A and B are shown apart, each in its own frame.
Chain A
Amino acid sequence: MSGYTFKSYLEKSQLPHMWCPGCGDGIILRAYTEALAELCLAPQEVVTVTGIGCWGKADDYLGTHAFHGTHGRALAFATGIKLGNPDLTVVALMGDGDAVTIGGNHFIHAARRNINLTAIVTNNYNYGMTGGQYSATTPLEGKTTTSPNGTAEPGFDLCFLAEAAGANFVARTTCYHAVALKNMIKEAISHQGFSLVEVVSSCPTYFGRFNVHPSPVKMLNWLKDKAVPVQKYREMSAAEQAEHFAVSTLVNKNRPDFYTTYKRINRPDQSAKGEE
């Protein structure tokens, strides 16, 4: 054993964290750091790339290398970092705003290119940091501070989107399922190519309060009830499916990642050279 524990990846001087009581982010941070420990990765080998938002603050508490960039661009920065040094383990932590609202373009293209990195997307169905406005994953008629009567827009299904764009590994769980989440993150990091872990998470302060319940416990139970294993989900009627979402590994492919393919096609001795 490496002797690493989740604490090996936390920057204790930065704690306590700023998240609201009952927020799912703390559970996800614990699962992420436990996954790193179980994978025996040294903090010096890992770059955590974050976006902007509640989950985007996660780098503040981490003792891995970190790159806290601009809103929506985490995957574009992460792409450069991974290609700049392919030996690094690169993990992008994003919220639903970062990943598929302002940053949707980078999300589909990172999946299409199959960049060898892992995206852990915390989907809490709204923008928590700025006060609970709707995002591109807020469900139709979901109430937020900018959709007081319910939003007229349907929400994205992140996993479908990633699969359609070409991601190698796609999995979903919730912050209720902490152990499954840790294992999923381990699998995602170990998997070559673009891996997505969507964590449906709880924001009791905003989305919960407006749509479910302000109690963190009730929010977690709500997530537990909504999540059904993918096999069971497939057997459900359309009406039942609309009330639930599928969890567990949804895509598991072995398409070669971008760097491997680029290197295969562009060998340094390639004859395309020639003086102008």
Chain B
Amino acid sequence: MQGNEACVYAAIDCGARFYAGYPITPSSEIAELSAKYLPKVNGIYLQMEDELGSIAAIIGASAAGKKSFTATSGPGFSLMQENLGMAIYAEVPCVIINVQRNGPSTGLATRPGQGDVMQARWGTHGDHPIIVLSPSSVQECYDLTIRAFNLSEKYRIPVILLSDEVIGHMRESLTIPEVEDLIIINRKLPLVPAQGFKPYTPEEDLVPAIPPFGTGYIVHISSSCHDESGYSHNAPQTADNLVRRLHKKIEANQEDIVQVEWFGPEDAELTIIAYGVISRTAKQVVINAQANGLSVNLLRLITHWPFPDEQVTQALKKARAVLIPELNLGQVVQEVHRLNSFNTPVYQLSRIDGEIILPSQIMQKVEEVLK
């Protein structure tokens, strides 16, 4: 099946029952399949008038207790940014699948791109944390969609699945586990009495137990600066506490959230850092390099954000050089530079013409670097 399809099966398997979206290439299969299957499980597919409304509707449905998701691509993702910030600030779980295409603007609508790495991190205004995951196979479209919902429910934060046109449309076989065998995390509910309840009181893990609308608890959700009651509150200390806690609940759990894959020999001379479709190219290069007696390994980023600082630092420390091929003009490269206090040479390989980077192109660069 296709990567886009796998996302829908995963969403339904882990209990998502509400989808709102606006069709856009190359993500539309997610909408189509959701429209077909959600009614079978008493869920709802809603086609909104635009992406501003789509993300608003999934945030609303989630606040009312339904696990909710949407899918889009670059232009639509741009329109979602304001309300994405609202969901982060008001701590409403939801999953946004962005099947990246070449940009900016309408760009090459049917061609792959990886230009939204920074938009996913910094697209909405103000200081905020975010979780972004990057699948590189159809199997991972399934697995990481489940994981996206789990992390979203656990930490009460929107999670972005940053796929791309190739991964979304590629067909591969995959294993779908029995639903009983899946690890499914649902948002926690309050254990305190409804009288005097303050929905935004953080628990030990810094995550508040906010019940959905319609239980005995009164819930006040606000996009304005709010205190633990959820009502707006303008004191400087309230503003400071809230945003710092939002960051801390993610930072304190990096170990749980950040995932990478190492591939190839452990102590390679050159480490390639890649993700999404290009990590597949890079894997082939690692195999080819080995056959040619070149010492190359791959650090594949599964979690984009929070950035795998620890693992990338390790790569910079150990390898003689690091190479980052990506379908943009160097969005992950910047992060690698930020961590490079070792003077390790960092090489960049960019492609922004709507074509993927071929193994031969990476190989050529590897040979240049290692010669």
Chain A interface (Cβ within 8 Å of chain B)? 11, 14, 43-45, 47, 49, 52, 57, 59-60, 63-70, 72-73, 76-85, 87-88, 105-106, 109, 262, 266-268, 270, 272-273, 276
Task: Name which of A44, A63, A84 has the most chain B CB atoms within 10 A of its CB.
Answer: A84
| Chain B interface residue bracket vs A | 35 or more
Select from chain B the residue with minimum beta-carbon distance to A14: B231
Docked CA distance A68–B222 (Å)? 5
Asked whether, in the complex, the Cβ of A262 is within 8 Å of the Cβ of B44, the reply is yes
- Chain B neighbourhood of A78, CB < 8 A: 60
Binary contact track B219-262/A, C-beta < 8 Å → 1, others 0: 11111100000111000000000000000000000000000000
- 11 more contacts with CB within 8 A, not counting A82-B60, A85-B213, are A47-B213, A65-B214, A67-B213, A77-B56, A80-B61, A83-B18, A84-B60, A84-B68, A84-B212, A106-B53, A262-B44
Closest 3 CB pairs of A and B: A80-B60, A84-B64, A84-B61
- Chain A neighbourhood of B59, CB < 8 A: 69, 77, 80
Asked whether, in the complex, the Cβ of A276 is within 8 Å of the Cβ of B1, the reply is yes
Select from chain A the residue with minimum beta-carbon distance to B194: A44
Identify A44's interface contact among B214, B220, B232, CB under 8 A: B214
Instruction: Report 28 cross-chain contacts, Cβ distance below 8 Å, ordered by A residue.
Output: A44-B214, A47-B64, A49-B60, A64-B218, A65-B213, A66-B221, A67-B63, A67-B221, A68-B221, A69-B59, A73-B53, A73-B83, A76-B56, A76-B60, A77-B57, A80-B56, A80-B57, A80-B63, A81-B63, A81-B213, A83-B46, A85-B64, A88-B214, A105-B50, A262-B39, A268-B39, A272-B36, A276-B1
Asked whether, in the complex, the Cβ of A105 is within 8 Å of the Cβ of B53, the reply is yes
Docked CA distance A76–B48 (Å)? 8
- Chain A neighbourhood of B231, CB < 8 A: 11, 14, 60
Docked CA distance A143–B54 (Å)? 36
CB of B325 to closest CB in A, whole Å: 33
B interface secondary structure, majority: mixed
Asked whether, in the complex, the Cβ of B60 is within 8 Å of the Cβ of A60, the reply is no
Asked whether, in the complex, the Cβ of A70 is within 8 Å of the Cβ of B56, the reply is yes
The reply to whether the CB of B343 lies closer than 8 angstroms to some CB of chain A is no
Binary contact track B15-58/A, C-beta < 8 Å → 1, others 0: 00010100000000000000011011110101011101110111
Select from chain A the residue with minimum beta-carbon distance to B36: A272
The reply to whether the CB of B62 lies closer than 8 angstroms to some CB of chain A is yes
The reply to whether the CB of B369 lies closer than 8 angstroms to some CB of chain A is no
Select from chain B the residue with minimum beta-carbon distance to A67: B221
The reply to whether the CB of B326 lies closer than 8 angstroms to some CB of chain A is no
Task: Name which of B44, B60, B66, B218 has the most chain A CB atoms within 10 A of its CB.
Answer: B60
Docked CA distance A81–B46 (Å)? 12
Docked CA distance A266–B222 (Å)? 34
Select from chain B the residue with minimum beta-carbon distance to A68: B222
Known: A14-B231, A68-B224. A88 touches B213 (CB 8 A): yes
The reply to whether the CB of B294 lies closer than 8 angstroms to some CB of chain A is no
Docked CA distance A84–B42 (Å)? 11
- Chain A neighbourhood of B65, CB < 8 A: 84-85
- Chain A neighbourhood of B68, CB < 8 A: 80, 84
- Chain B neighbourhood of A84, CB < 8 A: 18, 60-66, 68, 212-213
Known: A44-B214, A70-B56, A70-B83. A80 touches B222 (CB 8 A): no
- Chain B neighbourhood of A105, CB < 8 A: 49-50, 53
Asked whether, in the complex, the Cβ of A59 is within 8 Å of the Cβ of B214, the reply is no
Binary contact track B131-169/A, C-beta < 8 Å → 1, others 0: 000000000000000000000000000000000000000
Docked CA distance A64–B212 (Å)? 13
The reply to whether the CB of B116 lies closer than 8 angstroms to some CB of chain A is no
CB of B179 to closest CB in A, whole Å: 16
- Chain A neighbourhood of B213, CB < 8 A: 47, 65, 67, 81, 84-85, 88
- Chain A neighbourhood of B293, CB < 8 A: none
The reply to whether the CB of B5 lies closer than 8 angstroms to some CB of chain A is yes
The reply to whether the CB of B287 lies closer than 8 angstroms to some CB of chain A is no
- Chain A neighbourhood of B48, CB < 8 A: 76, 79, 109
Docked CA distance A262–B68 (Å)? 18
Identify A76's interface contact among B57, B63, B218, CB under 8 A: B57
Docked CA distance A199–B213 (Å)? 27
CB of A93 to closest CB in B, whole Å: 14
Asked whether, in the complex, the Cβ of B64 is within 8 Å of the Cβ of A88, the reply is yes
CB of A66 to closest CB in B, whole Å: 5
- Chain A neighbourhood of B216, CB < 8 A: 44
Asked whether, in the complex, the Cβ of B56 is within 8 Å of the Cβ of A69, the reply is yes
- Chain A neighbourhood of B46, CB < 8 A: 79-80, 83
| Interface members, chain B 44-94 (any A CB < 8 Å) | 44, 46, 48-50, 52-54, 56-66, 68, 82-83, 86
